[in-house]
Structure formats: C-alpha cells, structure tokens
C-alpha cells in the first residue's frame, strides 16, 4: 500500500490530519508525521531530518506520497529527498494537493490499492467537491459520453435515497467506494435530485463531487459480470445507513433488538486480563467527553484561577483513588496513579496554558486542552513506543481536569448496581473507582492485558477480558453475560446449560478460595516433597502486615520507589532506615528482599536532573542512574545495611545488564557498608545480594552471573517486553508482550539451569508468578520461589500443594516445544 507523509509547521495540525485519515473505514494506511519542532520556545517550523525519518517509516516499493502545508515545509521535504538513493527517490512524490482534503482522498485511494500515480491524482482532485458545492456556477450536467458508453452493454439500474442526516459525507462515501470496488462491474452514480453525474463508483472524489445530501435520490447504473451482486451489496449498504453512526431516524425497537442481541451461546473472543468467572448483566459505560467552550477570556486572572482550582480538584480525586486502591490491593498497584499526579505538577503543561490565557485570551478550558494536545502530540512523535504510552497518561489526566473545570466530572462509582461493566476501554483512574462488590466483571473493546486498567482489575480481583473488539459495544444494557477471564471469552445471552456450568465454576472457585485462605499459613510443598517459597511483592511497610496475614513466607520484592516519588527533596538515610526497619520488624524472621531504587526518565524525580531521553525505558534508569550517582545511591545502601545488621535482609539490584554493572554496584555497596561500620560499629559481614533478570542479555549470560551473585529474581513483565520489543500498553502489539511466550519461558529455564549449577536460587517476581495458570509451569521450570501480590498467595500455595513435581517438570518440557502463548496455555489446561 502507498504510504503517506504529512509535513506541517504545527505538530497539533499534523495530529489533526492524522486523526481524519485514521478515521476512514478500511485497512490502516501507512502514515507518518513530521510536524513542528521539538523546541519549547519555538514549536512551529519544519525539519528536514524529521521528514526523512517519516519517509523511512512508511517507505515501500509501492511508493510514498508527501503532503505539505506551506513555505519551509516544501523546502524541508525537498531536502529530505536528497538523503535517498535515486531508485528510492523515484518512488517518492511531493504533492501540491491541499493538505487536509488531499490527505483524506489519498488515504481512501491507497486503501483501494491504487498506484502511487492514482493516489497522487486523488489528492490533487480533492478540492473539486468543495469547489463545486460552493461555486455559483450551474450544476454539472450528466455526461452523454458516459451514458452512451453504458448504453452499449446490458445495464442494470437501482434507485436509492440518501438517509444519513449529513448526507454522503466522507466516511460513508469511503464505504460506498470500498463496497463498489469488490465487484467486477462498471458502476456509475448519478445524483438525480441535483442533476449531477454520472461518475464512477470507484472514485471517492467523483462521489463527493455529486454533493449527495439527505433526501437526494441517486441512480446506480451497473454493467459487467457481477453487476447484479454489486447493486445488491450497495443496496444493503444503503439500508444500513451507509455505515453512518449518525442515524437519520431511530429504528423500531424490534430492529434494535435484532441488531444487538447475538444468538444464544455465541462466543466473543478477547484477551484474558484478569482471571475468574463472572456472571451478570451488561452495564454500559463510556467515558464522558468534555465540551470545550469557544469564547475568549474577558478576565484572564479568573480563568487562570478556575484552571488551578480544577487541577487541585483533580489532584484530590486521583489521590483518593490511589488511596482506595492501596487499601484494597496494595501500594504497588496504586503506584500506577502516581504518574497522573506527576502530570498535574508538570510546568510543561501549566506554563503553556497560562500563556494562552494571559497572552492570547484563551478561556481556561481551551488553553488547557491546547497544552494537553501539544504534550500528547510531542510524545506521539517519539520513535520509542514505551514513551509514547505516556501520551495516554497526559490525555487521561487532561480530560479529568477539563471535566472538573467545566462542572461535568462524575466522581462517583461507575456502577450503582451489580453487573459486568462493558466499555470501549477503561483507564486506570476509572478502574480505581470500581467497587469490586458491584463489578462482577469487565469487558472492553480495546486495550491490552498489561494496560494499567487491566493490572488494576487483577489487583482488585475482578475477572476481565479486554481487546474483544467493537461487537461487545453493540450489546444492549441489561444483556445477560458470562465472562471467562482465564480463557478470554465472553458469552452474551448464554443458554441454560452454559449458565449452569458457569455457576458451578463460580461456586467451586469460591469454595477453593475459602479453603486456600484457611490453609494459607502452611508451607507450599508439592505432593512429592518439593518446597516452593511463596512471598509477596509490596510497595510500603503497611503492605507487609497484610501479606503476612494471607500466608506470605516473606517479601520477595520490596519496591522502594514509594519513598522517592511525589516529593521535592530525596529521603535521607534516617527516613529510609525507619521505613525498611518497620517492614523487617513486621516480618520478624521471615526474609525481606529490598530492591534498590528503580526510576528513570519515565518516572522523573524533581530533585534529580535526569534529563530528557528519546527512549527512557531503554535509557539511563534504575541501576544505571544509581551507579552514576554514587553518593545518592549510598544513602539508600547505608540504610539497608543498618537494617540487615538486625534482620534477614537481602539486597537486589534492578536492570543489571552486564557484569561490569554488577561489580561496580557491589563496590559501592561495600563502600557503604564500610561507612556504616566506621560510624556505628560492626555490621553484618555477609549480606546476600542478587539481581533482577529483566533484560534478555542478562538471561543469556546467566552462567557468568551465577558465579558471583547470590540469587536471581526474574521480572517477567519487562523481560517479555524487552524480548519482543513490544510495549505492553500498546494494543497493536500487546499480544506479543505475553509472559507465556515460549521464548520468555526458555529464558527463565536458562536462568534456572545456570543458577542451580552454581548452587544459587531463582524466584519469579513478575505478574506471571501470581497467575494460577502459570504456577504449575513455573514450578516445572524449576524456580525456587514465586513472588506475587499478596491477594494471590493463598491460591498459589493451594495449587503448589496439588502438584506432582515430576509431572510439572514434564509439563514444562512439553510446553517449551510449542510455538505460541495460546498453545502454552492450552497445554497447561489439558494437563491440569
């Protein structure tokens, strides 16, 4: 397919054009943007390097069409062409067509499989419909040549009436053209009411040229071997309102019911996001969209104060949601909302909004929306998929502020009666507002299983299936629904047998959970005597007590970030010592593994100049940042060393990639230990120190690491992302970032083999560890421990006690031979 490049002086303009192009029905067109400059004080302009990169992103043998706004955009595009070899330059066209209309027309023609010349021609002709509609000239008369040509062969005719309220505008016209091109037929369209045409049904510009409005009668004339089928398909499209969502009239209730209720027991397939079975009625939810006023600011100071008040109101709401999640699911889960609080404090949002209010007389809502859109667009232009996901955080927070500012915020619960929440997608903040007593389950049309909303659903214990697609949104309010969060399946209008079987599963799960909680304090030992340590992931001292209450054997991952975020100065040694000691006291003699600080460019700290990075998830973060700030690093290490003198504490370094990093970290640790000893007397001589395995390079070199480290902990979330170069929050690639991928499991096996060969132990601390389906597999792979959210511990121990270790080993070997994560899950189910 021909690729498109949009070159504009404004990033916001480029995003707007892209939104129109991507809104066209049909297959996605390769599209790249080169809009604006990444300069805070001079954001308007064009850059030849950006244009060159954009061309490279979408280039193929089919060619690339470049559309530009004005002035230097043309010069930048011409300069970019010089970077390509002549054979490639021949397949790149700079087009003089109007930017917006040309981009949309070109996209539709590209979707139809048009050549580069045809796509360029469609773009150049894009203004004709507007010229004809607004021109005072006489209406176009039907072409006799066309009529004579059609008269030379057998023709079939069909008359239709245009019903959409807005007429046959761009999207329905695109559907019309896409339908017509599926058939071997020459189809001509005439606007009988306005005496325009005929034109080819395969020409988007020709169709728009007809200026078809609501109530206009159109004549379709078709010839060719599939003429009858083509007219039947176009008639069906017209009866479906040309696919336009803006219906001319409300269908009869019977028609609505027939359209939205699938046949009994039909299954919708999505992605499993949170385990469990849910049975309930559909409760539809759509995030409210703020309506931005257009008036100018007559009192800028009042507008600014209103905006600041809305920001503070949003802060209180996010903090309340964070605290509620922390109470129900722990601080680690609630930390997802910390990024939203950081957005509220970002001067890169506040300052542009303030300037727009005071200097350009924008009203507060319009100024804030512009700042949000510009920031989201700047993230969207970045090459790194990990950082682009921050655009979602910015947009979500921005929308909350706007709703508060405009008095449209809905801060209450999303559900007021029990049921299954059905929505296009759920943000983290919206999921945090769910009451698990009312939310029987969650179904979303979009999103991935490792999105922030999905992670919170798991933490709250709500069965969820995501990425189901638009059919889930056609269900009527109150439709009976069964949700299988383990298999990622949803059954609307289930029959009696399926309902009975699901009720049996729900009751069996309830009984098993009650039994698991009653037996949680016991050891997790397989039937043939293999003990597995089951420990907790925590994010604050308060969570340690909750973990022990549900049977944790200790803490396998203490995320220390909570001490460092959302503050203007770093915590000193005494504050850190108090937090770590409180946690260790709660655990008594149970082990505590403290992970050193894991932040970076994606989690900015105001008191550290981390700088801007193009790819912060692959950049200067975690241990890399700490090694370059040894004084800062040693403050944390001294606090841990002091606690280790009294309690069984271990230290874990995150994101270690090379033995040089590991050795440098050990040197700094020894320096910190010596400093404590000089100031406070003797300390623990031997502290066990291990590393996180989050990077494939670490797993591949595990044998070398195993000779020096005391233990390994595999972080499967990041390991899956880094192995497949797939950001888990991106719905286009979320399926790749699956910890059940055989490649990820093979890396875990390599780490286990290397560790055991040197007498070292291995745990898994990612989300995979707490997945009931994964527990037999991880035990079979030979891991010594599983570290998970506290709520998952009773069930995990129960599963381990039911296992035969030898059989689990055979399962693991079998699973490593399959090709897909779906096959892995199916093999586990077959043998469970």
Nearest to 93 by CA among 46, 48, 47, 55: 55
List of residues 6+ apart from 496 with CB closer than 8 A: none
Three-point CA angle 600, 648, 554, nearest 5°: 75
CA distance linking residue 39 with residue 418, whole number of Å: 50
Which 8-state DSSP code applies to residue 143?
P
Burial of residue 574 (number of CB atoms within 10 Å: 0-12, 13-18, 19+): exposed
Structure-token pair, residue 750 = 């390599």
Give the CA distances from residue 82 to residues 78, 89, 812, 824, in Å, rounded to whole numbers and listed in that order: 7, 8, 54, 49
Cis peptide before 435, with omega less than 30 degrees from 0? no
CA-only gyration radius of the chain, Å:
30
Give the CA distances from residue 806 to residues 136, 781, 782, 785, in Å, rounded to whole numbers and listed in that order: 85, 11, 10, 17
CB 281 within 8 A of CB 389: no
3-state SS record for 683-704: CCCCCCEEEEECCHHHHHCHHH
The number of C-alpha atoms within 13 Å of 94 and in the hemisphere containing its C-beta is 17
CA distance linking residue 531 with residue 540, whole number of Å: 27
Nearest to 583 by CA among 630, 539, 551, 534: 539
Q: Could you give the residue numbers annotated as active site?
A: 452, 765
* Residue found under tokens 């929050």: 729
Return the percent helix, strand and coil in the chain, to nearest 5. 50, 15, 35
CA distance linking residue 309 with residue 322, whole number of Å: 20
Phi, psi at residue 714, to the nearest 5°? -90, 120
Give the CA distances from residue 521 to residues 516, 538, 542, 585, 779, in Å, rounded to whole numbers and listed in that order: 9, 18, 19, 18, 19
* Residue found under tokens 């609505």: 256
CB 512 within 8 A of CB 787: no
CB 139 within 8 A of CB 195: yes
């Amino acid at each position: 397919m021909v690729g498109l490049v949009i070159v504009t002086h404004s990033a916001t303009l480029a995003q707007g054009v892209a939104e129109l192009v991507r809104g066209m029905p049909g297959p996605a067109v390769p599209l790249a943007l080169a809009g604006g400059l990444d300069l805070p004080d001079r954001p308007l302009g064009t850059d030849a390097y950006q244009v060159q990169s954009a061309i490279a992103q979408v280039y193929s043998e089919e060619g690339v069409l470049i559309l530009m706004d004005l002035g230097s955009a043309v010069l930048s595009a011409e300069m970019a062409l010089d970077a390509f070899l002549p054979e490639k330059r021949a397949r790149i066209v700079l087009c003089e067509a109007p930017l917006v209309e040309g981009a949309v027309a070109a996209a539709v023609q590209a979707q139809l499989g048009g050549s580069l010349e045809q796509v360029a021609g469609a773009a150049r002709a894009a203004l004709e419909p507007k010229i004809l509609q607004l021109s005072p000239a006489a209406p176009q008369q039907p072409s006799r040549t066309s009529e004579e040509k059609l008269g030379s062969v057998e023709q079939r005719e069909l008359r239709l009436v245009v019903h959409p309220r807005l007429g046959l505008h761009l999207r329905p016209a695109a559907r019309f053209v896409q339908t017509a091109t599926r058939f071997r037929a020459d189809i001509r369209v005439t606007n009988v009411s306005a005496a325009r045409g005929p034109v080819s049904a395969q020409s988007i510009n020709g169709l728009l040229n007809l200026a078809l409005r609501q109530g206009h009668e159109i004549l379709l004339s078709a010839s060719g071997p599939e003429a009858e089928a083509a007219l039947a398909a176009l008639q069906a499209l017209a009866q479906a309102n040309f696919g336009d969502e803006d219906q001319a009239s409300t269908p009869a209730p019977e028609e609505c019911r027939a359209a939205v209720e699938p046949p009994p027991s039909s299954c919708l397939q999505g992605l499993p996001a949170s385990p469990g079975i849910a049975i309930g009625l559909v409760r539809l939810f759509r995030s409210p969209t703020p309506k931005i006023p257009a008036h100018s600011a007559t009192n800028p100071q009042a507008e600014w104060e209103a905006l600041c008040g809305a920001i503070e109101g949003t802060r209180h709401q996010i903090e309340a949601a964070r605290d509620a999640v922390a109470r129900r699911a722990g601080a680690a889960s609630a930390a997802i909302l910390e990024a939203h609080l950081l957005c509220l404090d970002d001067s890169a949002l506040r300052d542009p909004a303030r300037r727009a209010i005071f200097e350009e007389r924008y009203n507060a809502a319009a100024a804030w929306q512009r700042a949000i859109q510009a920031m989201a667009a700047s993230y969207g232009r970045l090459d790194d998929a990990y950082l682009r996901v921050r655009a979602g955080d910015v947009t979500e927070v921005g929308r909350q502020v706007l709703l508060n500012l405009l008095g449209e915020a809905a801060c209450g619960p999303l559900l007021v009666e029990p049921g299954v929440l059905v929505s296009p997608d759920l943000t983290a903040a919206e999921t945090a507002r769910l009451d698990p007593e009312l939310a029987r389950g969650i179904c979303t049309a979009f999103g991935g299983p490792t999105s922030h909303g999905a992670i919170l659903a798991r933490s709250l214990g709500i069965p969820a299936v995501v990425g189901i697609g638009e059919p889930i949104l056609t269900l009527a309010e109150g439709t009976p629904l069964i949700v299988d969060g383990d298999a990622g399946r949803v059954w609307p209008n289930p029959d009696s047998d399926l309902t009975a079987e699901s009720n049996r599963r729900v009751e069996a799960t309830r009984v098993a959970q009650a039994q698991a909680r009653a037996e949680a304090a016991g050891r997790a030992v397989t039937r043939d005597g293999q003990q597995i340590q089951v420990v907790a992931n925590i994010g604050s001292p308060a969570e340690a007590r909750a973990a022990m209450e549900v049977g944790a054997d200790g803490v396998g991952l203490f995320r220390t970030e909570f001490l460092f975020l959302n503050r203007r100065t770093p915590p000193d040694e005494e504050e850190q010592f108090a937090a770590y000691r409180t946690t260790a006291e709660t655990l008594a003699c149970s082990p505590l593994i403290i992970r050193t600080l894991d932040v970076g460019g994606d989690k900015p700290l105001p008191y550290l100049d981390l700088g801007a990075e193009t790819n912060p998830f692959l950049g200067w973060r975690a241990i890399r940042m700490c090694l370059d700030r040894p004084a800062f690093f040693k403050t944390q290490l001294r606090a841990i060393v002091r606690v280790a003198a009294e309690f069984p504490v271990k230290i874990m370094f995150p994101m270690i990639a090379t033995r040089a990093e590991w050795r440098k970290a050990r040197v700094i640790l020894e320096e910190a230990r010596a400093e404590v000893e000089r100031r406070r007397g003797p300390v623990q001589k031997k502290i066990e120190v291990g590393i996180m395995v989050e990077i494939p390079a670490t797993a591949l070199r595990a044998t070398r690491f195993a000779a020096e480290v005391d233990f390994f902990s595999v972080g499967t979330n990041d390991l899956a992302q880094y192995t497949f170069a797939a950001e888990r929050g991106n719905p286009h690639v979320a399926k790749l970032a699956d910890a059940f991928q055989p490649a990820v499991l093979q890396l875990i096996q390599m780490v286990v083999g290397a560790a055991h060969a040197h007498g070292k132990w291995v745990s898994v601390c990612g989300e995979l560890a707490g997945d009931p389906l994964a527990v037999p597999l991880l035990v079979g792979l030979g891991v010594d421990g599983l570290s998970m959210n506290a709520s998952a511990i009773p069930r995990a121990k129960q599963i381990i006690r039911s296992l035969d270790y030898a059989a689990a080993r055979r399962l693991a070997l079998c699973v490593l031979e399959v090709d897909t994560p779906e096959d892995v899950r199916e093999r586990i189910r077959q043998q469970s």
